[in-house]
C-alpha cells in the first residue's frame, strides 16, 4: 500500500478493525479478500511498529522563556 | 402543714430556665469548639458535646436545622456554632440548641466553595454534555503541576510505564499559594496554544484544604472549561473534591490515576494488534480453505472424473436424432410425392382441351345464328329502304314542280320567298323541273292584303 501520508496509530487501528470484520463476515470475493488480507497485515505491522517505536519519545519541561528542555525527575523531593 | 420555704425541684429548674431564656446574651449567640460524643438519632437530630481544653457544653441540633448542612460533623472536628442556650428540665442540664454550624478555620473558604460551586453548576460548567472525550492514543500529554513533588513523579513514571511511545510536556505551575491560580490559568492557556498537546493533566498531590485551594478558584474553573484540549483533573487524594474536579472533562482521584486515564496500556494495545492479526490470518485461512474445498469437490465430481460420459450420452442422442430425422425426412418426401400425384390427377381432370372444344362448338353455332339473323335483317332493311325511297320520291319538290310549280333564286342562289327579296332589275333564276330560266325583274307587284 503506498502511503502518501503516514497513518496515525488510531487511524491504522480503525482501518485494521474494519478489515478484520469485513474478512470475518466472509461474503468477500477471494481476490478482494486477498487484498484486504495484505492491507490488514501491513496495517497490523504498522500498528505494531508504532507501539514498539519507543526511541525519540521525550519528557520535556517548558521554561519561562517558552523553550522546552529535557526534564528529569528529581527523586530527592 | 404548709412548707413555703422549700421549692420543688421542678419549680427551681423552671426558675433557672427562665433566667437563661431571659438573658439576651444567651439567645442567638456564637460559640466555637470541638465536637465529641457525636450521635445522630434516626430522627435526624444530632446530639454531641462541644468542648475546648477547659470546658464542655451539651449541644443539640434538630433535624430541621441539620438537614441543609453541607457537611457531616464528626468527632474531633472544630466547628463554629450559632444557637440558643437553655435548660433541659428533665435532666436539669443546660445545653446549646444549635441552629447553624460550619467547620471552623475554613469557614469562609468553605462558604466560598459552596457558593462558587452552586453558581458554576447553574451556569452549566459542570454539564455532562460540555465534557470532551479523551483521545484514545495521545501523542503528547501535557502535565500542569509543580515540577517538584510526588505528583509529577507519579504522573510521569506511570505514563512512561504504561505508554512509553507518548511525549510528555510539563508546564511547571505553582499549585499552592496566592500566585497559584494565575499560574495554573496561564499554563492551561499556554498548553492550548501549543498544538501538539492531545490531553492535559492538571493537578497536585494531597494537602490541606488551604493548599488545594487554587483548584477551587473561579479563574481556574473557567480556564478548564474554556480549554479546547481535554483536561483530566487530579487534585489531592480520593476524598478531596475541588471545583476543578467538577469542571474537568474527567476527574482522577489521584495523580497516578490521572496518568492511567490519560494513556492506554501499551501491552493491551500490542495484544489487541496481535489479536487482530491472528483473526486476520484465521479469516484468510478459512476463506482459502473453503475455496480449496470447493475446488476439490468440483475436481472430484463425476463430470471431471469421467468426462467421456458427458459426450457419450450426447453422441448417442445425436445418433438417435439423426436416425429420426432421416426417417421423418423420407416419410415426408413420400407423402409429398403422393400429394403431388393427387394434384396432378386433379389437374389433368381439369384440362382445358374439353373446354376449348365445347367453346369452339358454341362459337360455330353462334356464328351460324349470327349469319342467319344478319341475312334476314338485311333483306328486311332493304325492303324498308325501298319503301322509304318511294315515299321520299313522292315528297320531292321536283314532283311538286311537275304539277306546275317553280322555284325562284336570286343572284346569290337564295330561294326567293317574298317580293321583298327582290328589287327591280335584279337578275333572278327560275328553276323548273327540266331547266332554268334567267330573268330580269321588270316590275314588282305586292299582293293585296299580303303585306
Q: Supply the pLDDT for residue B106.
A: 60
Q: Are B138 and B198 in contact (CB under 8 A)?
A: yes
Within a domain: A76: no
Grid cell at residue B198:
492531545
Q: How near does any CA of chain B get to the CA of A25, in Å?
A: 9
Among the candidates B264, B293, B325, a domain finishes at: B264
Question: What is the model's pTM?
Answer: 0.53
The answer to whether B148 faces chain A, any CB pair under 8 Å, is yes
pLDDT higher than threshold 50 for residue A77: no
Residue in B137, B171, B291 nearest the CB of A9? B137
Q: How many independent structural domains does chain B possess?
A: 4
Nearest-Cα residue of chain A relative to residue B164? A54
Q: Supply the pLDDT for residue B70.
A: 63
Residues B258 and B276 placed together within one structural domain of the fold: no
The answer to whether A18 faces chain B, any CB pair under 8 Å, is no
Q: How near does any CA of chain A get to the CA of B173, in Å?
A: 10
- Crossing angle for the helix pair A9-25 and A30-52, to the nearest 10 degrees: 150
How many residues would you count in chain A? 77
The answer to whether A75 faces chain B, any CB pair under 8 Å, is yes
Residues B259 and B134 placed together within one structural domain of the fold: yes
> Cβ of A60 and B291 within 8 Å?
no
SS3 category, B421: helix
Residues B132 and B163 placed together within one structural domain of the fold: yes
Q: How near does any CA of chain A get to the CA of B138, in Å?
A: 9
Within a domain: B359: no
> Cβ of B190 and A62 within 8 Å?
yes
Within a domain: B200: yes
Within a domain: B323: no
What are the Cα distances from residue B366, in Å, to B263, B274, B355, B359?
A: 134, 124, 16, 10
Within a domain: A17: yes
Q: How many independent structural domains does chain A possess?
A: 1
Residues in A closer than 8 angstroms to B287, CB to CB, are 23, 26, 28, 30, 33
Q: Supply the pLDDT for residue B108.
A: 59
Nearest-Cα residue of chain A relative to residue B152? A73
The pLDDT tens digits of the residues spanning B175-208 come to 888 888 999 999 999 999 988 999 999 999 888 8
- Crossing angle for the helix pair B150-162 and B255-262, to the nearest 10 degrees: 30
Within a domain: A1: no
The answer to whether A72 faces chain B, any CB pair under 8 Å, is no
pLDDT band of A2, cuts 50, 70, 90:
very low
The pLDDT tens digits of the residues spanning A9-53 come to 888 989 999 999 988 887 888 888 888 889 999 999 998 888 888
Within a domain: B182: yes
Q: How near does any CA of chain A get to the CA of B166, in Å?
A: 6
Separation CA B182–CA B11 (nearest Å): 65
Residue in B170, B269, B288 nearest the CB of A62? B170
> Cβ of A68 and B149 within 8 Å?
no
Q: Is B1 exposed, middle or buried (0-12, 13-18, 19+ CB in 10 A)?
A: exposed
Q: Are B236 and B207 in contact (CB under 8 A)?
A: yes
Within a domain: A77: no
Q: Supply the pLDDT for residue B396.
A: 73
Write out the H or E segment, with its range, that includes residue B252.
strand B250-252
The pLDDT tens digits of the residues spanning B55-87 come to 999 999 999 998 777 677 888 888 889 999 999
The answer to whether A39 faces chain B, any CB pair under 8 Å, is no
Grid cell at residue B117:
460551586
Within a domain: A30: yes
Neighbours of B200 (CB within 10 A): 28
Within a domain: A41: yes
> Cβ of A51 and B269 within 8 Å?
yes
Domain span including residue B14: 9-105
Nearest-Cα residue of chain B relative to residue A25? B283
> Cβ of A44 and B286 within 8 Å?
no
Q: How near does any CA of chain B get to the CA of A23, in Å?
A: 6
Q: Which residues of chain B have pLDDT under 70?
A: 1-2, 70, 105-109, 111, 448-451
Q: Is B339 exposed, middle or buried (0-12, 13-18, 19+ CB in 10 A)?
A: exposed
The answer to whether B134 faces chain A, any CB pair under 8 Å, is no
Question: What's the per-residue H, E or C state across B253-293?
Answer: CCHHHHHHHHCCCHHHHHHHHHHHHHHHHHHHHHHHHHHHH
Q: Supply the pLDDT for residue B342.
A: 93
Within a domain: B47: yes
Q: Are B188 and B218 in contact (CB under 8 A)?
A: no
Residues B259 and B163 placed together within one structural domain of the fold: yes
Residues B198 and B293 placed together within one structural domain of the fold: no
Within a domain: A42: yes
Within a domain: B191: yes
Within a domain: B88: yes
Within a domain: B225: yes
Residue in A19, A30, A53 nearest the CB of B165? A53
> Cβ of B291 and A30 within 8 Å?
yes
Separation CA B224–CA B197 (nearest Å): 14
Q: Supply the pLDDT for residue A74.
A: 63
The answer to whether A48 faces chain B, any CB pair under 8 Å, is yes
Residues B93 and B213 placed together within one structural domain of the fold: no
Q: What is the mean pLDDT of residues A53-76?
A: 78
Q: Are B441 and B428 in contact (CB under 8 A)?
A: yes
Residues in A closer than 8 angstroms to B288, CB to CB, are 30
Interacting residues of B222 by C-beta distance below 8 A, sequence separation 6+: B125
Residues B285 and B255 placed together within one structural domain of the fold: no
Residues B150 and B183 placed together within one structural domain of the fold: yes
Residue in A51, A57, A68 nearest the CB of B273? A51
Amino acid at each position: 500500500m503506498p502511503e502518501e501520508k503516514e497513518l496515525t496509530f488510531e487511524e491504522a487501528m480503525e482501518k485494521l478493525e474494519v478489515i478484520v470484520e469485513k474478512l470475518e463476515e466472509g461474503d468477500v470475493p477471494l481476490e478482494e479478500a486477498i487484498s484486504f488480507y495484505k492491507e490488514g497485515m501491513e496495517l497490523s505491522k504498522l500498528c505494531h511498529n508504532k507501539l514498539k517505536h519507543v526511541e525519540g519519545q521525550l519528557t520535556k519541561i517548558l521554561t519561562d522563556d517558552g523553550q522546552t528542555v529535557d526534564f528529569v525527575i528529581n527523586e530527592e523531593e | 402543714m404548709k412548707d413555703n420555704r422549700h421549692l420543688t425541684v421542678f419549680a427551681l429548674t423552671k426558675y433557672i430556665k427562665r433566667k437563661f431564656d431571659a438573658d439576651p446574651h444567651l439567645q442567638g449567640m456564637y460559640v466555637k469548639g470541638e465536637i465529641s460524643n457525636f450521635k445522630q438519632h434516626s430522627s435526624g437530630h444530632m446530639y454531641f458535646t462541644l468542648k475546648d481544653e477547659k470546658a464542655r457544653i451539651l449541644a443539640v441540633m434538630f433535624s430541621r436545622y441539620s438537614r441543609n448542612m453541607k457537611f457531616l460533623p464528626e468527632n474531633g472536628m472544630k466547628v463554629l456554632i450559632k444557637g440558643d442556650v437553655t435548660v433541659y428540665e428533665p435532666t436539669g442540664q443546660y445545653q446549646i440548641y444549635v441552629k447553624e454550624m460550619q467547620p471552623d478555620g475554613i469557614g469562609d473558604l468553605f462558604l466560598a466553595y459552596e457558593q462558587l460551586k452552586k453558581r458554576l453548576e447553574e451556569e452549566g460548567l459542570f454539564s455532562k454534555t460540555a465534557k470532551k472525550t479523551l483521545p484514545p492514543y495521545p501523542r503528547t500529554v501535557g502535565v500542569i503541576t509543580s515540577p517538584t513533588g510526588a505528583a509529577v513523579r507519579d504522573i510521569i513514571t506511570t505514563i512512561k510505564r504504561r505508554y512509553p511511545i507518548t511525549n510528555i510536556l510539563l508546564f511547571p505551575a505553582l499549585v499552592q499559594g496566592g500566585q497559584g491560580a494565575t499560574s495554573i490559568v496561564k499554563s492551561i492557556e499556554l498548553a492550548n496554544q501549543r498544538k501538539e498537546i492531545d490531553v492535559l493533566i492538571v493537578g497536585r498531590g494531597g494537602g490541606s484544604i488551604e493548599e488545594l485551594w487554587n483548584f477551587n478558584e473561579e479563574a481556574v474553573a473557567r480556564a478548564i472549561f474554556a480549554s479546547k484540549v481535554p483536561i483530566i483533573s487530579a487534585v489531592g487524594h480520593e476524598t478531596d473534591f475541588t471545583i476543578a474536579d467538577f469542571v474537568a472533562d474527567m476527574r482522577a482521584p489521584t495523580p497516578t490515576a490521572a496518568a492511567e486515564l490519560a494513556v492506554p496500556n501499551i501491552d493491551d494495545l500490542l495484544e489487541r494488534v496481535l489479536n487482530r492479526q491472528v483473526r486476520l490470518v484465521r479469516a484468510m485461512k478459512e476463506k482459502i480453505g473453503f475455496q480449496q474445498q470447493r475446488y476439490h469437490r468440483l475436481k472430484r465430481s463425476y463430470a471431471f472424473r469421467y468426462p467421456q460420459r458427458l459426450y457419450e450420452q450426447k453422441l448417442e442422442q445425436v445418433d438417435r436424432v439423426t436416425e429420426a430425422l432421416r426417417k421423418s425426412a423420407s416419410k415426408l418426401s413420400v407423402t409429398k410425392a403422393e400429394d403431388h400425384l393427387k394434384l396432378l390427377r386433379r389437374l389433368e381432370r381439369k384440362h382445358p382441351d374439353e373446354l376449348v372444344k365445347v367453346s369452339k362448338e358454341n362459337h360455330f353455332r353462334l356464328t351460324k345464328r349470327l349469319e342467319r339473323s344478319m341475312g334476314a335483317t338485311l333483306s328486311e332493311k332493304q325492303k324498308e329502304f325501298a319503301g322509304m325511297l318511294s315515299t321520299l320520291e313522292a315528297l320531292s319538290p321536283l314532283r311538286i314542280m311537275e304539277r306546275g310549280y317553280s322555284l325562284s333564286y336570286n343572284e346569290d342562289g337564295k330561294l326567293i320567298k317574298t317580293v321583298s327579296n327582290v328589287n327591280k332589275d335584279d337578275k333572278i333564276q327560275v328553276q323548273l323541273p327540266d331547266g332554268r330560266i334567267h330573268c330580269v325583274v321588270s316590275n314588282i307587284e305586292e299582293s293585296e292584303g299580303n303585306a
